[in-house]
């Protein structure tokens, strides 16, 4: 947290409010997203890059608090506040964001990857378990634990499955579910599970649509079988043992 839908929500809100304003006399020309990172571009080619990690927040025109790490004062008097309770998040002012190591090592974006590229990339990782693979930002950028669980439930794929056991039709279902779940989550401004607030300070609404994430013991919305939780590579995974084969 925050994952692609949360970061994309913040990006869109910031783009609407801060483009053409100035920070340190540098005009803001664009607000982009790279995986789970936000990039604020300036007219001179430099950028501010943010990674919110677990508890980071970027909120416009809020009062600084005990977890505020930086306040960015903009030319019109508005402020952009960077909060981070656990201090794992970071921001950098860089000359060329696209040359940043953390950005260069990202795989294709989960919202824009083509069917052809997704299939080509997944077939090169035949021995990988599907859940950790979806979390691998070098394989595909933007998906975290929440949306990997929801994507695999939508695709009816067990998170423990190895890629080489997947049929062409199952791979197709995963690809379709990535787009479907992420776009739906963006439309609801993301999921407020713990510390996430969008750039206006509001909670996301997609948590109400979660089918399996943190639903351990609850009946599956399709078959009523209790949702199970397992650890895969030290990460919790939630799934329906009957619907996800």
pLDDT digits (tens, 9 = 90+) for 159-195: 999 999 999 999 999 999 999 999 999 999 999 987 8
Please indicate whether residue 3 is annotated as part of the active site.
Answer: yes
140 neighbors 220 (Cβ within 8 angstroms): no
Q: Which of 11, 26, 36, 131 is catalytic?
A: 36
Q: Where in the chain is the domain with CATH 3.20.190.10?
A: 4-104
Q: What is the mean pLDDT of residues 64-76?
A: 97
Q: Pull the structure tokens for residue 137.
A: 């930002």
Number of CB atoms found within 10 A of residue 23's CB = 17
| pLDDT value of residue 40 | 98
Was domain 115-239 assigned CATH 1.10.8.50? yes
Q: Which of 97, 87, 90, 84 has its CA nearest to residue 39?
A: 97
CATH architecture of 4-104: Alpha-Beta Barrel (3.20)
Q: What is the mean pLDDT of residues 82-92?
A: 96
Q: What percentage of the chain reaches a pLDDT higher than 70?
A: 100
Cis amide prior to 2 (ω within 30 degrees): yes
Q: Which of 53, 69, 121, 235 is catalytic?
A: 235
Question: Phi and psi dihedrals of 83, rounded to 5?
Answer: -105, 150
Among 9-18, 44-53, 91-100, 186-195, name the one with the lowest average pLDDT. 186-195
SS3 (DSSP) at 70 = strand
| pLDDT value of residue 194 | 79
> Residues in the chain, how many?
245
HSE on the CB side for 125, CA within 13 Å?
A: 21
Which residue is it, tokens 């930086």? 70
HSE on the CB side for 173, CA within 13 Å?
A: 17
Please indicate whether residue 36 is annotated as part of the active site.
Answer: yes
Q: Which of 118, 123, 126 has its CA nearest to residue 161?
A: 126
Checking if the pLDDT of 219 tops 90, the result is yes
Q: Where in the chain is the domain with CATH 1.10.8.50?
A: 115-239
Q: Confidence band (pLDDT; 50, 70, 90) for 30? A: very high
Checking if the pLDDT of 1 tops 80, the result is no
Please indicate whether residue 229 is annotated as part of the active site.
Answer: no
| pLDDT value of residue 10 | 98
HSE on the CB side for 191, CA within 13 Å?
A: 25
For residue 127, with 0-12 CB atoms within 10 Å meaning exposed, 13-18 middle and 19 or more buried, which class applies? exposed
| pLDDT value of residue 63 | 94
């Amino acid at each position: 947290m925050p994952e692609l839908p949360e970061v994309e929500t913040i990006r869109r809100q910031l783009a609407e409010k801060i483009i053409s304003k100035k920070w340190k006399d540098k005009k803001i020309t664009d607000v982009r997203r790279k995986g789970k990172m936000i990039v604020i571009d300036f007219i001179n080619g430099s950028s501010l890059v943010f990674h919110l990690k677990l508890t980071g927040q970027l909120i416009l025109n809020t009062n600084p608090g005990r977890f505020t790490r930086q306040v960015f004062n903009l030319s019109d008097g508005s402020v952009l506040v960077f909060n981070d309770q656990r201090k794992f998040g970071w921001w950098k002012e860089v000359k060329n964001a696209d040359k940043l190591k953390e950005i260069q090592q990202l795989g294709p974006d989960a919202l824009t990857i083509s069917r052809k590229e997704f299939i080509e990339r997944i077939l090169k990782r035949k021995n990988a378990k599907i859940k950790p693979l979806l979390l691998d930002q070098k394989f595909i950028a933007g998906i975290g634990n929440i949306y990997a669980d929801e994507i695999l439930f939508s695709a009816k794929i067990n998170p423990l499955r190895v890629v080489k056991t997947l049929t062409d039709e199952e791979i197709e279902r995963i690809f379709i579910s990535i787009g479907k779940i992420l776009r739906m989550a963006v439309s609801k401004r993301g999921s407020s599970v713990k510390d996430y607030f969008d750039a206006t300070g509001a909670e996301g609404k997609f948590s109400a649509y979660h089918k399996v994430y943190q639903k351990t013991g609850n009946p599956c919305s399709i078959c009523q079988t209790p949702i199970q939780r397992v650890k895969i590579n030290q990460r919790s995974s939630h799934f329906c043992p009957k619907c996800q084969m």
